[in-house]
Amino acid sequence: MNRELILQILSVGCIYIGNTLYQWSLEGRKDIDWTHHHLGTFGFYIFCSSILFFVGFFTLAKQIIELAKKNSNNKNSDSSNSNNNIQFFKKIKVSFNLYLISISLLFIFCFLATLLEITKDVGATLVHHGQYNLLVLSGLLLLYTSTFTMWWILLRYFKFKQIIIGFIIFFISLFIIFEIKNAVIKKDWPIGIDGKKFMFFDRNDSKVCRVSNDFIAWPSFIPAGSTWIVAGSRECPKEKGFSNLDYDNILHIDCPLNEISYTTSPTFFEEQKEFGIFTNDFKTFEKQYKSETYQYKGSPVIIKDETVMAKCGNNTEIHFQNVKKVSTHKRASNFNNPTLKFSTNNNNNNNNNNEEIKIKTMNKDEKSKPIDILFLMIDALSRAHFKRALPSTFETLQSIQNKGESKVFQFFRYHSLKPFTDPNTIAMYTGYNSLNYDTQDKNNGLQPSTTKKPFNWEDNPMFFQSFRNDSYVTSWIYGLCEDWFQAYLKVDKPENSIDHELVLPFCSPLAFPLERPFGIFEGPYSIRRRCLGNKHIHDKIFDYINQFWDNYYDVGKIVTATFMDAHEGTMEVIGIADKQFNRFIKNDMEENLNDTVLFLVGDHGSHMGPYYMWAEGGSIEVSMPILYIVLPTWFTNKYPHVEKYLLENENKLASPFQLYDTIRTLSTFPEFGGIDVFDPTGQKRKQTKGLLGPIPNDISCLDLGIPHDFCQCKNK
């Protein structure tokens, strides 16, 4: 068997094995924990298949090119210099042209078969995640092709010795530049507000949680906006839309066509059913929201719903706003004169005495409303990447600290429970432990809450339910098309607990595409900008919060808003939000911070890209999400123990459970209502103060319920 035939067999074998490995990388389950544990394996399969594809197709293509050249050179020659392969095929009376055509057809067949195989799954879900696999594969093949092309060009125009000398000089220079930059990055990585450092609290105690910072933070080497070639512009379209919903709740439509209408509380669930993306957790929304469509008759109309869709012919635009509810405002106007009554039954000498529990109130001349709470949850954002990707916002926090009217507290060792949303948000919102521990953790004594009692709102209320509803108005901004309560807890949200709920805009096909809602280039996980009309979605959320603040300026407010800008693989999209985040905190909210506690929180770090999959720094940062708490200085001066514990705990290991306890503890201060509604006696949560109480220096992942295989503590 001649050499060419052996190479052909090996090439086809490489392509076949590459296809097999790629198919293995497409395995999927609905279990998100299983998926995250296998990301490294999938990445290995894709990497190996990319090499096999490149070698197989390159070898076949090289043979075809060489044969075509030889065919041209030897067309009229029967000399003894003809290669052995031509003589071999002459012996069996097969023409050279037929042989060349057959090899070309083999290449085309392998190429088409591979193309069909790798594009069979282009989904973007846990079960079908081929779109993400294909992006990684394409990137690797592009890298190999670019490298080969570069070598081909260099060898064509330069001598090999010159190339080697050039490469040596280039790589030495690159190494020096890299080491200098890496030293700067390593020095900067642990530093936070006021120059405080991650890991500065140690005292050489072997039991203190030690987290490695001796790694390469690769995202710091990537220039901001470097993905524009693939992702396009970072800015939303500048064109003015045909409709506008102004600050006074009035809708204006300027459309030259006759088909002009608007739909209040638009739902898109029927369309989702047609495309097969309607899930059970949407059923609550389907029952709750009813759309109404009206013809627009040329005059501006008042919109009383929070979401409206304007239509001009086949074009649609989505608008949302906060609409003040008079009855809700009235209910929340009783801070100084509580309408809520709490009592307890004390069993003394077998006599049941029903005693009223006093609420710690304040005089109107001291304070006429409680401190507001603004809880901004940025999905998939670590402490380190917040500083990298949102430098202007970080500097604004430093500026707030410098001015002294508010105190900024940062928590360097705030540790997530898993590298995905479910257990972290359940813990920070309800205090419930939904983790599934493995045998080792169970043997160490870790047990989820499910082993004791099924989830219920009485034992695990939402954090904002601890605050008096006769003093506070609540708003819950989902940030994506998902019923968080049904999706993660499998229950409906607590009845009458949320006054303003914003979800419908995020279910619009403009934000949640019907064909691929979780695709790479569209939707809430997109590597591109996320816009509604000519504004980024996060910017429109800030507008909504500002309007909510204005509508309820004289009563307590609790806003919980989720932002999806960091939930994608490039770690670039969140950088787009820096300008608007900075403007919101610096210009819109800073004057309100004297009467507001601000939480900037992440559920975990980046968990979708190569940094997480293959780099040590990625596995550390995914477990260390952002947590900043900003409190009015007058409040910390009045309660010095609050500042004392928050400062002490900035470098103590903590988890979302401690964050939940912290917020519930705030509810007991007179400035926040003076009572925990779900623990009026204070007996249930006497020892659970979260970050507002002492945390041992040597507290461990085991103490906090963090699984051993995700814990980043590496003790001596």
pLDDT digits (tens, 9 = 90+) for 613-638: 889 999 999 999 999 999 999 999 99
> What's the pLDDT band for 688 if we cut at 50, 70, 90?
confident
* pLDDT tens digit sequence for 649-664: 999 999 999 999 999 9
| 156 CB burial (10 A radius; 0-12, 13-18, 19+) | exposed
pLDDT at 349: 38
**H/E segment holding residue 680:** none
**Residue 197 has what DSSP assignment?**
B
**Rounded alpha-carbon distances, angstroms, from residue 124 to 503, 507, 519, 546:** 21, 17, 5, 34
- Section 68-74 average pLDDT: 73
User: If DSSP codes are grouped into helix, strand and coil, which group holds residue 561?
Assistant: strand
* Cβ partners under 8 Å of residue 23, min gap 6: 117
C-beta separation of 429 from 462 below 8 A:
yes
- Section 34-63 average pLDDT: 91
Cα dihedral across residues 189, 421, 523, 610: positive or negative: positive
The percentage of the chain sitting over the pLDDT mark of 90, rounded to a whole number, equals 75
* Token representation of residue 588: 């819109």
pLDDT at 80: 47
pLDDT at 351: 43
pLDDT at 533 over 70: yes
Q: What is the pTM of this model?
A: 0.90
E-strand ranges in 197-305 read 243-245, 250-253, 260-264, 292-295, 301-302
E-strand ranges in 199-291 read 243-245, 250-253, 260-264
pLDDT at 3: 80
pLDDT at 598: 99
* Token representation of residue 653: 């290991």
Backbone angles phi, psi at 144, to 5 degrees: -65, -45
- By DSSP bridging, strand 307-312 and strand 260-264 are antiparallel
Closest CA to 180 of 150, 132, 220: 220
The residues with which 354 forms a beta bridge, in sequence order, are 345
Separation CA 416–CA 704 (nearest Å): 10
Separation CA 598–CA 84 (nearest Å): 79
Residue that wins the pLDDT comparison between 683 and 205: 683
* Cβ partners under 8 Å of residue 553, min gap 6: none
* Cβ partners under 8 Å of residue 671, min gap 6: 362, 367, 370, 371, 635
* Token representation of residue 324: 């003040």
Which of 145-149, 376-380, 612-616 is predicted most confidently?
Answer: 376-380
Backbone angles phi, psi at 488, to 5 degrees: -110, -35
Separation CA 273–CA 141 (nearest Å): 37
> What's the pLDDT band for 342 if we cut at 50, 70, 90?
confident
- Section 59-80 average pLDDT: 73
Query: What average pLDDT does the structure give for the chain?
Result: 91
Closest CA to 537 of 560, 510, 556: 510
Phi/psi-derived region of residue 703, left when phi > 0, alpha when psi is between -120 and 50, beta in every other case: alpha
